[in-house]
Amino acid sequence: MSLKRLSQYSYSVARRIVIAMVGVTVCLIGIMMLVTPGPAVVVIPAGLAILGVEFAFARRWLHSLKEKINETLRSEDESVEDHTAKQYNPWKMWQPDASETAELPTESTERNGPHGA
């Protein structure tokens, strides 16, 4: 192995170690922020993004985390739309339901009685 090749190899290994240490440290700080005050939802993905520079598993975790966040946001949007559609309408109590309109007497039942003679 030549000296140039050895220096390139040692540089890549050192770079990988430094990225791993920084990424793991940021992720651990984010995990600590889950129980202490702090923006854990920002710091943990940042740590995964740092790790994702060199490691494929971190890129996969970050991708799945993004998908889960997007899915959660979509489901919250749908639940908010459902909730606003089902809100209380004070005027609705003055509007008869379909079951109530079926029981209202018509002209023929008033003249002929309930059995329609």
List the chain domain ranges. 1-71
**Model confidence at 3: pLDDT above 90:** no
Among the listed residues 64, 71, 54, the one whose alpha carbon sits nearest the alpha carbon of residue 19: 54
- CA–CA distance, 80 with 19 (Å, rounded to integer): 41
Query: What is the pTM for the complete model shown?
Result: 0.58
Overall average pLDDT of the 81-104 stretch: 58
Q: What is the pLDDT of residues 72-87, one digit of tens each?
A: 888 877 766 665 555 5
**Model confidence at 6: pLDDT above 70:** yes
Q: DSSP secondary structure string, 85-109?
A: HT---GGGGGSPPHHHHHHS--HHH
Q: What does the mean pLDDT of the chain come to?
A: 79
Angle of helix 56-85 relative to helix 40-52, nearest 10 degrees, comes to: 150
pLDDT at 97: 59
pLDDT at 88: 58
